[in-house]
Each structure stands twice: as C-alpha cells, then as structure tokens.
C-alpha cells in the first residue's frame, strides 16, 4: 500500500483509531476528547465510532484523570490520556512522578502501567499564558518514564502506536505548532525503528545538529541555508528524550567533529545539557569545538507578541553554527 499524505494531527488521529480498533482494552480519556474531539481535534470522531465507554470525557481535574488511568491500568486496561495543554499537566505531576513512574519498580516489575499521556507542547501558535510550555526535561529527569516527541506525521503515527503498545508509562509530547505540517505516512509499513531510536534526517559532514519535536524542521531549514554557504550540516532527529539514543549521536559527532543541540525549552538545565555533557565526556578527542546549545531564554514564556523573540529560530541556530566554526 502506498504512503498517504497526512498532517501530523491526522496521523495522530489515525494512530488512535487503529489502536482502539486493535485492542478493546485501549481507552482514550481526557477533557473534551469525546464529543468535541479535543481542543485541537486530535480525537475527532473517535467517540462517535467507539462509544463513550472507550473514549471518555473527564472532569477538569488532571490529578484525577491520571489517578483514574493508573487504576484502569492496574485492572488490565491501556489508557491513553490527553492533557489539553502543556501548562495544565502540573496538577497531575504528583500522580505521574510518585505513582506512575514508581509503581513498576516498587513492585519489582510485577505491576505494569501501560499508560500514555499525550501532551500538546511548545509555542508558536500565539496562545495565552500556560499554553506554550516545554516541560519535557522535568519528565525526562524522572526514572521510570519514557519521554517521546515526534517531528513529522510518519513518526507521529508509528511512535504513538509503539507508545500505546509499550508496557512502560510514556509521556508523549506533541509539537502543537507542527500539527498541520504534512508528510507521507505508510500505515502498513512493518520495518519501523523503535521509538527510542534516533534518526539521521539529513546527512552532512561538517557539523551535527541534534533536535527533537518542533525544532527538527527548524534545524532542517537552517541546514538548507548553511548548504548555500558551503557547510554541510547533519541533522539528527532524536525522537526520544528518555531514553536518548546516544549511539546515533556519538556516531554522527565522530564523523562531523562538531555538535549543536537545539530545543524550544530554555537552555538552562534543559535536555540539551545532558546531551552536551555526554558527548563531551565520550567524544572529547573527536570534537573540533565545544558542544553548543540553542534554546529559549531562562524566563517565563512571554505574551504571544513576543514569542518570536523568545523562541529559537533559524537565525539563532545558524549563529551557534558560526560560533562552532569559529573555534
């Protein structure tokens, strides 16, 4: 079967539809996911086709939503929870960190919690306060959670399916400003890499750009501009933030000798810091320049009129590239 053009949003909807059809124990739950189809319409049509017992509207209570999902998982279900916006996850953070992440280890593996928590995240849509956060580092720091973020429709479809099939709890960050990006999706392909495996999405020889989620497209655009100036940048889509596929990153850096890590979240204590530290420790003698990081500023997310100044774009990525070559 040939690949079908889809938006990232449609790919997620298709993945949810397929996992609901494949397994009667899979449930979708969250605020407005049923009749409304979700605030971004990712779950549109699912309640109509699978019923209110499989696609459930919940009260506006994130701690209760996550706690209920944990109870359902203990009874053999596979809940897929939607948190309406990134900044709304924190009332449920206690349940995620103290229960969801810890129960499997506390029970020495006897208890499994196959729960996916979907979180639209990141900026770029002109939203109001608490609607444009990038809290992925807070979850990646917690042992027991898998943290993923697709950057394109094909990965959105396959990574979400793999997340639902995982017996480990997964925090699934969806780049909301990329919801309407289009790409080819083959829902019949059987040779998909594991969701925790990084992917080289643009080969290069002079410098590695590592990114995930919404910044992958930004880095690809930056690499295209750099190519006009004679620099061949390799772009690595990390795809998974916990665990990180360090093997792929190290292999790339050993080829190129330089690394810039980019994400929308603030640079300070961000995911890029862990990657930079690891590569510096393990690839020191292959580096021709210090590992550099690109991200947002260490300040609360600004009003929407200022978000273009706050978010890292092509210019900020290329500035880091120039600095890497200055060494």
Catalytic residues: 131
Closest CA to 182 of 148, 161, 202, 154: 154
Closest CA to 23 of 101, 119, 111, 114: 114
Contacts of 32 (CB under 8 A, 6+ apart): 38, 39, 57, 84
Other CB atoms closer than 10 Å to residue 57's CB: what's the count?
14
Give the H/E segment covering residue 59: none
Three-state DSSP class for 103?
helix
> Prior bond to 216 cis, omega within 30?
no
DSSP state of 243: S
φ and ψ at residue 190, rounded to 5 degrees: -115, 5
Spatial distance between the Cα atoms of 34 and 14, rounded to a whole number of angstroms: 15
Three-state DSSP class for 280?
helix
DSSP state of 101: T
Three-state DSSP class for 64?
helix
Closest CA to 234 of 224, 247, 246: 224
Residues in the chain: 327
Computed on alpha carbons and rounded to an integer, the radius of gyration of the chain in Å comes to: 19
Spatial distance between the Cα atoms of 257 and 268, rounded to a whole number of angstroms: 24
DSSP state of 251: H
188 by Cβ neighbours in 10 Å (0-12 / 13-18 / 19+) ranks as exposed
């Amino acid at each position: 079967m040939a690949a079908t053009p889809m938006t990232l949003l449609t790919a997620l909807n298709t993945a949810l539809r397929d996992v609901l059809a494949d397994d009667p124990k899979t449930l979708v739950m969250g605020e407005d996911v049923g009749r409304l189809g979700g605030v971004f319409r990712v779950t549109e049509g699912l309640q109509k086709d699978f019923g209110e017992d499989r696609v459930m509207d919940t009260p506006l209570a994130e701690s209760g939503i996550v706690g209920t999902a944990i109870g359902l998982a203990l009874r053999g279900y596979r809940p897929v929870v939607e948190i309406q916006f990134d900044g709304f996850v924190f009332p449920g953070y206690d349940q995620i960190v103290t229960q969801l992440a810890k129960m499997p280890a506390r029970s020495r593996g006897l208890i499994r919690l196959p729960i996916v928590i979907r979180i639209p995240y990141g900026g770029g849509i002109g939203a109001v306060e608490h609607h444009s956060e990038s809290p992925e580092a807070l979850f990646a720091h917690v042992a027991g959670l898998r943290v993923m973020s697709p950057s394109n429709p094909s990965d959105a479809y396959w990574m979400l399916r793999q997340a639902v099939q995982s017996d480990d709890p997964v925090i699934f960050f969806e780049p909301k400003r990329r919801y309407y990006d289009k790409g080819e999706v083959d829902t019949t392909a059987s040779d998909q890499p594991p969701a925790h495996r990084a992917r080289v999405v643009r080969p290069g020889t002079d410098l590695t750009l590592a990114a995930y989620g919404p910044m992958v497209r930004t880095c690809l655009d930056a690499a295209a501009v750099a190519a006009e100036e004679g620099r061949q940048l390799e772009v690595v889509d990390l795809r998974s933030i916990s665990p990180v596929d360090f093997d792929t990153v190290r292999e790339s850096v050993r080829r190129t000798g330089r690394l810039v890590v980019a994400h929308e979240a603030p640079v300070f204590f961000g995911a890029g810091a862990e990657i930079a530290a690891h590569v510096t420790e393990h690839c020191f003698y292959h580096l021709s320049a210090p590992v550099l990081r690109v991200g947002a500023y260490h300040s609360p997310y600004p009003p929407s009129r200022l978000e273009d100044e706050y978010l890292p774009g092509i210019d900020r990525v290329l500035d880091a590239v120039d600095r890497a070559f200055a060494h």
